[in-house]
Amino acid sequence: MRIESVDVLVCSPGRAFCTVRIATDDGLVGYGDGTLNGRELAVASYVADHVAPTLVGADASRINDIWQYCYRGAYWRRGPVTMSAISAIDQALWDLNAKALGVPVHRLLGGRARDFITAYPHCTGHTVEAALTDAAARLAEGYRALRVQAQVPGVPTAYGVARGDEEYEPASSVLPDVEEWDTGAYLDFLPELIRATRDELGYGFELLHDGHHRLSPSQAGWMGRRLEPYRMFWLEDPTPEEDQRAFATVRSLTSCPIAVGEVWNSVHDCQHAITERLIDYIRIPVTHGGGLTHLRQILALADVYGIRSGLQGASDISPIGQAANFALDWTIPNFGMQEYMGYPEDTWRVFTPHYRLEGGVITLDGTPGLGVEFDEEAAARYPYEPRSLPVNRLRDGGMYDW
């Protein structure tokens, strides 16, 4: 099981994905997801130019050693590009090793700790009414947890809301779109949206909302207090994530559960927030968090502090990365909730999943490996199309967090 090749395949079936393939001298192949939305080629270059040549000839069964070689062996550590690159390699190795043994990856992680994985979708609309219609339709499909977002009156383009009638996709233009943000309008609006959701649809489901890094700690505390009567499952990213200590202020002001982590990449990004119990759910996806090898360490630390998982599952995590999330969701004791945003139709012409999402729950069918097939010929029919995430400016033109 010597590594013969490490290749990167970047394609755009409906949206961009960066996939790493590792092949061994005995004919085994594994795939991993390294998609970093709007920065796909940076990860591709990191893998292809800097790591792939160093792994040829390595024993593919030594996942732990290869992880340490890629992480500890590099002087320049951490960060989203590096950790997504390491993750893609790590996922491909878990996929390959599980295929070699003829078992799903979760069997290598000790087996299932639950019968199904609870998933939440995105519910959204240009008006409160439209968002609630969407939410009601998802409840009718069987979902028992919903993320609800809607257009903020006075803010022309809101995070999480499509521009026209198409599905929402944040990276939708070649150069970054400029969006406009108004914190006051959001502070006025969100409690109304959440109240209307509970008034209209009741309390028989878990309710989530993503603040997308836009409040100060005191604003977030104010907001959390206003949401308390509506029993939120979580308020996500109330403040920018890089300031772990800010969550102490949020915590001191509200009992609303807080979910954070989709832009963290390493245990060192969240060590303080975890050990000081500043958050309730941790959202680092396998794809951006150094792979299964590293994320399970983070989740084990989180468990010691009573923090549960809420792994990011936006459309920019490929179906392979999602399957890697599921492998952990199945096996950890501290599962909380799994995001499942969904994919454009064309994505399914390249990726064939063996997981099922039905009635708001995810189940797997026992296929060896991560359980997602990647069709390289189909991928070649969808050449890479670069897309950027938007940027945010305030009314006065000053830059703001997106």
Q: Which stretch binds Mg ion (CB under 5 A): 117-125, 182-190, 258-266, 371-379?
A: 258-266
Amino acid at 10: V
Q: Which two tokens stand for residue 267?
A: 């245990």
Kindly name the residue from 71, 120, 159, 281 that is annotated as catalytic: 159
- Match 């501290």 to its residue by tokens: 334
Q: Which does 389 bind (CB under 5 to 8 A by kind): ligand GCO, Mg ion, none?
A: ligand GCO
Binding mask 259-298 for ligand GCO (x = CB under 6 A): ---x------------------------------------
Amino acid at 278: L
Q: Is 384 assigned a catalytic role?
A: no
| Residue 90 binds Mg ion, judged by CB under 5 A | no
Nearer to ligand GCO, 67 or 210 (CB): 210
373 with 352: CB under 8 angstroms?
yes
Least spacing, CB of residue 213 vs Mg ion, in Å:
8
Please, which residues have CB within 8 angstroms of residue 244's CB and are 6 or more apart in sequence? 269, 270, 272, 273, 278
Amino acid at 56: V
Least spacing, CB of residue 248 vs ligand GCO, in Å:
23
| Residue 389 binds ligand GCO, judged by CB under 6 A | yes
Least spacing, CB of residue 314 vs ligand GCO, in Å:
3
Phi-psi region of 145 (alpha: psi -120 to 50; beta: other; left: phi over 0): beta
> In terms of DSSP H, where are the helices of 102-231?
105-108, 128-141, 183-201, 217-227
How far is it, in rounded angstroms, from Cα 318 to Cα 301?
26
Q: Which two tokens stand for residue 342?
A: 């969904």
| Residue 210 binds Mg ion, judged by CB under 5 A | yes
| Residue 387 binds ligand GCO, judged by CB under 6 A | no
Least spacing, CB of residue 298 vs ligand GCO, in Å:
18
Q: Which residues bind ligand GCO (CB under 6 A)?
A: 37, 170, 210, 212, 262, 312, 314, 316, 339, 341, 389
Which are the catalytic amino acids? 159, 212
